[in-house]
């Protein structure tokens, strides 16, 4: 699931920095951005991947991170 949506990044934070829409990530303030990173890190630790919805993605499509390659 979401394998076709995989993108490259060096970490969860790098994934968010590259692919999350700025207005929905850093544009909401440092505290919000830090909480979002922590949430995605928890999801990655639990499931082995994390995703960004098409609404929040800079690409306009779902993107998934499965770890550094």
pLDDT of 1 > 90? The answer is: no
At 18, phi and psi to the nearest 5? Answer: -80, -40
- 12-64: per-residue pLDDT in tens? 999 999 999 999 999 999 999 999 999 999 999 999 999 999 999 999 999 99
Distance, in Å, from the CA atom of 43 to the CA atom of 48, rounded to the nearest integer, reads 7
Residue 58 has a pLDDT of 97
DSSP 3-state of 69: coil
Supply the DSSP string of 1-68, one letter for each residue.
--GGGB---SSHHHHHHHHB-GGGTGGG-HHHHHHHHHHHHHHHHHHS-EEE-TTTBTTSS-EEE---
Residue 69: pLDDT band (50, 70, 90) is confident
């Amino acid at each position: 699931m979401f394998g076709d949506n995989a993108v490259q990044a060096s970490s969860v934070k790098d994934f968010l920095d590259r692919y999350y829409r700025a207005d929905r990530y850093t544009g909401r303030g440092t505290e919000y951005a830090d909480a979002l990173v922590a949430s995605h890190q928890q999801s990655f630790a639990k499931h082995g991947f994390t995703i960004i919805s098409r609404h929040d993605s800079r690409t306009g499509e779902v993107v998934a991170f499965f770890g550094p390659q």
